[in-house]
Amino acid sequence: MAKPTNPTRIGLAGLAVMGQNLALNIAEKGFPISVYNRTTSKVDETVERAKLEGNLPLYGYHDPESFIQSIQKPRVVIMLVKAGAPVDQTIKTLSAYLEKGDCIIDGGNEWYENTERREKEVAELGLLYLGMGVSGGEEGARNGPSLMPGGSFEAYKYIEDIVLKVAAQVDSGPCVTYIGKGGSGNFVKMVHNGIEYGDMQLIAEAYDVLKSVGKLSNEELQSVFTEWNKGELLSFLIEITADIFGIKDDKGDGYLVDKVLDKTGMKGTGKWTIQQAAELSVPAPTIEASLDARFLSGLKEERVEAAKVFKSSDFVDLSADKAIDKQKLIDDVRKALYAAKICSYAQGMNLIRAKSIEKGWDLKLGELARIWKGGCIIRAIFLDRIKQAYDRNPGLANLLVDPEFAKEIIDRQSAWRRVVCLAINSGISTPGMSASLAYFDSYRRASLPANLVQAQRDYFGAHTYERVDIEGSYHTEWFKLAKQSRI
C-alpha cells in the first residue's frame, strides 16, 4: 500500500461501516488520514474505497505501531469499535505507541461513566481523551454527521478544524459543538438515541392507526407521509418512512414492509436513557413506552399464541360500526403525532438538563438542538423551534410551557385525544401517544391524586406528609383514627 510522504493529520482505528465512512469523509474534506483495523482485510477494503471514491488521501496500516507512527504530533486517533471491553483493548493496543500529549477519541455509543473512567486512566499516561457521539448512521458518517464531543477541551481544540468541516452543515453552521466536560458527549448522544426511540415508536403508532383503523394502503401511506414531510413534521424519520412504504418486495409479491418481522432490535442506549431518568427522578414516559414496546415486540411467539386465545374472546371493536372519514383521520393523526413528539423531546431535554446540573457540565440545550438539525437521525425542522425556545428562555422549565409550543399543543389536543380514544376503542395499542398525553395532562394540572398516595404511604409506613395549608411535616395515626371511627 502507498504511504504518505508526510505524516497524516489524524488516524482512525476500527473499520466497520461507520468507521470506513467517517474516515472517507475526513479524507474527502482534505485531511490526510491513516487507518487501522485488527482484521487487515478491512484496511485493504477501505483503501480501495478511497481510490474508487476520488483517490482520497487515506492510508492503510496492518499493524498498530506503524499506524501510530504515521500520524503527525500531537497525534489524534479516533476509535470506532464496539462499546465496552473492545474499547479498553483498543486503548491498550494504541497507547503502547502513543506519547505524552497525544489524544484518543472514542466515537462509539459508550456508557458515559466508562468515558470518564478512561479519561482519568489515560491522563496517567499523559494522554488526552474525548468521548464523541456520532449520529447519522452510515450515510451521515460519510456525508456529514452530527458530532457531540465531550471531555478534554484541549483535545477538542486539536480536532476542531476537522470536525467543523466533517460535520453536517446547516443554515446555522456545522452540526458540532464542544458539549462539555467528562462523559457529557456520550450522555447527550445517549439521550439523543432515547428521543429517537420515542420518535420511531410514535411514527409506528401513527402508521398502525392509519393502516388498522383507517385501512390505508401502502400507496396511500406513502402519499400521506410524503405530504407530512412538507410541513411541521418535516424530518429524516418521516422521509425514510415514506420511502419504506414505496419499496416492493424483490423476493415475492407486494410490499417489503409487510414482510418484515414485527420484532424490533436494540443496542442498549434506550435502556440506559430510562435507567438514568429513573436515577434522576425525571419523568420520561414516552421514551419508556417506546422501550417497553420493543420488549413486547420481542415476545413474538407469545403474542402469536395470545392472539389465538383472545380471537374468540368477547372483545368488541367499539369503532367497528362507525364510518371512518379518512381525511379527517389523517389530519388528526398528524396533529397527534406532532403533539406527542413535542413531549418526547421535552422529556429528553429535561433529562439532559438534570444530568448537567448534577455533574456541573453547564450544557446549553439550545445549542444541542442546533447541532441536531442536520446529519443525525432525529434531525427535524422543529428543532429550529426548540433552539429558539431555549434562546428565548435558557431557564425554560419544560418545552411544553414555551408560549409557542404551548399554543401548538392546545391547538392539537382535541385531535390527539380523538386519536388515542379511537385507538383504544379499536383495540390498537398506542403506548407512546397515550404516555405522551398522560404526561401532558399530568404536567398541566395544578393538583394530582398524589395526595392520596402520600396519605397511604403515611398510613402503612409513617413516611409523613406535607399539608397544602400549614407549613411543616406531619404524621397521622390513620389506623387508630379509622378504627375509632368504626366503633
Cα atoms found within 13 Å of the Cα of residue 467, Cβ hemisphere only: 8
- Does residue 137 have a known ligand-binding role? yes
- The shares of helix, strand and coil residues in the chain, as percent rounded to the nearest 5, are 55, 10, 35
- Does residue 197 have a known ligand-binding role? yes
For residue 261, how many other CB atoms are within 10 A of its CB?
Answer: 7
- Does residue 14 have a known ligand-binding role? yes
- Does residue 406 have a known ligand-binding role? no
Cβ pair 468, 455 in contact under 8 A: no
For residue 414, how many other CB atoms are within 10 A of its CB?
Answer: 12
Using DSSP, state whether 263 is helix, strand or coil. Answer: coil
Cα atoms found within 13 Å of the Cα of residue 463, Cβ hemisphere only: 11
Any idea what DSSP says for residue 270?
Answer: H
- Does residue 16 have a known ligand-binding role? yes
- Does residue 136 have a known ligand-binding role? yes
- Does residue 313 have a known ligand-binding role? no
- Does residue 294 have a known ligand-binding role? yes
Q: Which of 42, 189, 355, 373 is catalytic?
A: 189
CA distances from 196 to 267, 348, 455, 477 (A): 13, 10, 38, 48
For residue 59, how many other CB atoms are within 10 A of its CB?
Answer: 24
Cβ pair 103, 155 in contact under 8 A: yes
Q: Which of 196, 205, 288, 408 is catalytic?
A: 196
Strand order in the sheet with 33-36: 58-61, 33-36, 10-13, 76-79, 103-106, 128-135, 146-151
- Does residue 37 have a known ligand-binding role? yes
How far is C-alpha 397 from the chain's CA centre?
Answer: 21
- Does residue 95 have a known ligand-binding role? no
Dihedral in degrees, nearest 10, Cα atoms 16, 21, 27, 33 = -10
Spatial distance between the Cα atoms of 419 and 72, rounded to a whole number of angstroms: 59
- Does residue 109 have a known ligand-binding role? yes
Q: Which of 185, 210, 229, 141 is nearest to 433 (CA)?
A: 210
- Does residue 349 have a known ligand-binding role? no
What does the DSSP assignment read for 97-115?
T--TT-EEEE-S---HHHH
- Does residue 267 have a known ligand-binding role? yes
Spatial distance between the Cα atoms of 475 and 116, rounded to a whole number of angstroms: 43
- Does residue 83 have a known ligand-binding role? yes
How far is C-alpha 292 from the chain's CA centre?
Answer: 15
- Does residue 393 have a known ligand-binding role? no
- Does residue 118 have a known ligand-binding role? no
- Does residue 81 have a known ligand-binding role? yes
Whether 251 sits among the annotated catalytic residues: the reply is no
Q: Which of 204, 183, 362, 351 is nearest to 283 (CA)?
A: 351
Cβ pair 111, 272 in contact under 8 A: yes
- Does residue 120 have a known ligand-binding role? no
Whether 121 sits among the annotated catalytic residues: the reply is no
- Does residue 464 have a known ligand-binding role? no
Residue list, annotated binding site for substrate: 109, 135-137, 192-193, 197, 267, 294, 457, 463
Residue list, annotated binding site: 14-19, 37-39, 81-83, 109, 135-137, 192-193, 197, 267, 294, 457, 463
Residue list, annotated binding site for NADP(+): 14-19, 37-39, 81-83, 109
Q: What are the residue numbers of the active site?
A: 189, 196
